[in-house]
A and B are shown apart, each in its own frame.
Chain A
């Protein structure tokens, strides 16, 4: 692992939802340009970690800190986190009636540009910008004039999340089970796009239940989350070990500790 200050530094994070403690003390440091994977069995708290970092209001932070670029991330509203460069690709993207994808993306991009003191893009400039982005990732504009996620297939919804990632250019991209529900072709498409978006000033936190996504996106670090704690961290080879051995041996380890 590289040395230096982390882009994201999580220490002793304990989080509850509806009175149940889900995260029981998570420590995690992600540096610029790194790709981290969080794996773990269902119910281990993976999605909770992803959502709490994005600021979902349903979660209560009981203890611990999360610093992003040295600032207190947990004190920021969801929109402030997004404007500072945090992006969450949702496990279950939400349908927005009546708002086209293109209108939604422009509203989001302009919110970010205002924060950076840049001029807002009008519809025509935005379309040009969008075409560049679509070309760069090799996608067409067929989803742009449809209402956000409405009537999208599971694969289209996940692709749409990655498209937003490409347009909003975050510094920290959190992918919450982006691979679940995708067939192998869709999975490859999503993985290839994520690989194109890897950059020295962009870090990824990839939450996944399965190892197969990591066949296409090679992480720098793999963490195993079990029962609300990170019980093991290692290199990409750890993902293969988990695929072969399952999670049970780690869950038992977590229980003992």
Chain B
């Protein structure tokens, strides 16, 4: 309760001070959201959606609202976190947009704070319309503090050739940031995007982000999210997509970092003929805890969704995966496939995997499967019988778990970068 009161107090101070120069509708959205957060409070483990994840370290921590960074990092300092050289990029430090480090593109690739006034109609049409807050305290809190983040708009029939990078860096100070991102692709538009969370130094900070992605008719987005927070960080996030008829959404979610991470991923297939790939990897060690909660909502007929999540868990780490698939009445000819495979590299590592299928249409194809276990001894013998040493064989099989997910990414230079990060991580283990 104390934590809730403190956050509400911080909101009240902020809302009456620096945050007042915004349109009325946004003020209303914020005040509604803080009221929602106040009534919901922090989730607890008695709630079904939080059975395996305790947020006590966040609720009991004392995170101040982040202030603008005392020192702006140089381009050289942020280069290790840029996964690609080319393309537009938006860089944020402790939640604050860094124009000098960014390469925006007019009002289409811009900071959200800027377009809230400059493209008010478009932002108002979409912001907060997709990410649920009624039963989501963290998304409600993010919405209460909505201020800055990335905004990407791709006009009808336009293609942005190079991937757009959205980079959120933490200075490492024990503060909370609420990045809010809005991505809108109009009909037949196409883009690829990389959203990265990383830290300039080790620290116990808290990121609470929300990203809404709206994909118009026959548009296509390849969306990558790379969570490489500091090992002491807390990362709570919601990603919500909403796709129109005949559109394609390829989501790639990679989580390496944070002491405690919770990512709610929602996808709504709202028009017929939509196609979704939800492809995820979590690579955990020491005492890391990562919880992925996914909801794929087949709200229209003739859509397909393919969900693949692999986890590699070492030491005393814990991975949680919940894969909910809803097929609404009338969503006939739905083709939905879900798999979650967890590799336990240590007897102290633990994985929970729960598929939840809710099917209200009768002419559909839905399959799901999950595995939790150590390396397959048959596979180990197979590799050794070909001359590959035992340790190398173990590494190869472990790498394969990650490579299977990375292999679905179509942006080759990005895939190569992530491949390098994965290899580095596995070499440490």
Task: Evaluate whether A79 and B376 lie within 8 angstroms (CB atoms) in the complex, with A98-B401, A111-B392 already known.
Answer: no
In-complex Cβ contact of B385 among A78, A99, A115, A147 (8 A): A78
**Are A82 and B386 in contact, CB atoms less than 8 angstroms apart?**
yes
In-complex Cβ contact of A111 among B386, B402, B403 (8 A): B386
In-complex Cβ contact of A99 among B378, B389, B400 (8 A): B400
14 interchain pairs (CB within 8 A)?
A55-B384, A55-B385, A78-B381, A82-B386, A87-B385, A94-B381, A96-B382, A98-B405, A107-B383, A107-B396, A111-B388, A147-B400, A147-B404, A164-B386
CA distance A112 to B376 in the complex (A): 23
For B383, the chain A residues whose CB sits under 8 A away are 96, 104, 107-108
Cross-chain pair count, CB within 8 angstroms:
85
* B34 vs chain A, min Cβ distance (A): 45
Question: Is B18's CB within 8 Å of the partner chain A?
Answer: no
Which chain B residue has the least Cβ–Cβ distance from A85? B387
For B341, the chain A residues whose CB sits under 8 A away are 97
For B403, the chain A residues whose CB sits under 8 A away are 98-99
Mark contacts of A74-109 with chain B using CB atoms, 8 A cut-off: 1 yes-contact digit, 0 otherwise: 000111011100011010011111110000100110
- Chain B residues within CB distance 8 Å of chain A: 341, 376-379, 381-390, 392-393, 396-397, 399-405, 407
Q: Which 6 A-B pairs have the closest CB atoms?
A: A98-B400, A98-B404, A82-B387, A98-B403, A108-B386, A111-B387
**Are A98 and B384 in contact, CB atoms less than 8 angstroms apart?**
no
**Are B387 and A96 in contact, CB atoms less than 8 angstroms apart?**
no
**Are A99 and B396 in contact, CB atoms less than 8 angstroms apart?**
yes
**Are B386 and A98 in contact, CB atoms less than 8 angstroms apart?**
no
Task: Evaluate whether A94 and B378 lie within 8 angstroms (CB atoms) in the complex, with A77-B384, A99-B403, A147-B404 already known.
Answer: yes
Question: Is A54's CB within 8 Å of the partner chain B?
Answer: yes
**Are A57 and B381 in contact, CB atoms less than 8 angstroms apart?**
yes
Task: Evaluate whether A94 and B382 lie within 8 angstroms (CB atoms) in the complex, with A99-B399, A99-B403, A107-B392 already known.
Answer: yes
For A81, the chain B residues whose CB sits under 8 A away are 385
Question: Is A226's CB within 8 Å of the partner chain B?
Answer: no
Which of A95, A99, A164 has the largest number of chain B CB atoms within 10 A?
A99
* B133 vs chain A, min Cβ distance (A): 37
- Chain A residues within CB distance 8 Å of chain B: 54-57, 77-79, 81-83, 87-88, 90, 93-99, 104, 107-108, 111-112, 115, 147, 164, 168
* B166 vs chain A, min Cβ distance (A): 27
In-complex Cβ contact of A168 among B381, B384, B386, B407 (8 A): B386
For A168, the chain B residues whose CB sits under 8 A away are 386-387
CA distance A54 to B386 in the complex (A): 10
CA distance A112 to B378 in the complex (A): 21
CA distance A88 to B384 in the complex (A): 11
For B396, the chain A residues whose CB sits under 8 A away are 96, 99, 104, 107
**Are A83 and B387 in contact, CB atoms less than 8 angstroms apart?**
yes
CA distance A106 to B341 in the complex (A): 26
**Are A79 and B382 in contact, CB atoms less than 8 angstroms apart?**
no
**Are A112 and B387 in contact, CB atoms less than 8 angstroms apart?**
yes
Which of B341, B377, B388, B399 has the largest number of chain A CB atoms within 10 A?
B388
**Are B401 and A79 in contact, CB atoms less than 8 angstroms apart?**
no
* B423 vs chain A, min Cβ distance (A): 13
For B404, the chain A residues whose CB sits under 8 A away are 97-98, 147
For A95, the chain B residues whose CB sits under 8 A away are 379
CA distance A83 to B384 in the complex (A): 10
For B401, the chain A residues whose CB sits under 8 A away are 97-98
For B378, the chain A residues whose CB sits under 8 A away are 94
For A88, the chain B residues whose CB sits under 8 A away are 385
In-complex Cβ contact of B390 among A79, A96, A104 (8 A): A79
In-complex Cβ contact of A96 among B377, B400, B402 (8 A): B400
For B386, the chain A residues whose CB sits under 8 A away are 79, 82, 87, 104, 107-108, 111, 164, 168
For B385, the chain A residues whose CB sits under 8 A away are 54-55, 78-79, 81-82, 87-88, 90
For A99, the chain B residues whose CB sits under 8 A away are 396-397, 399-400, 403
Which of A55, A111, A115, A164 has the largest number of chain B CB atoms within 10 A?
A111
For A94, the chain B residues whose CB sits under 8 A away are 376, 378-379, 381-382
* B389 vs chain A, min Cβ distance (A): 5
In-complex Cβ contact of B384 among A78, A90, A164 (8 A): A78
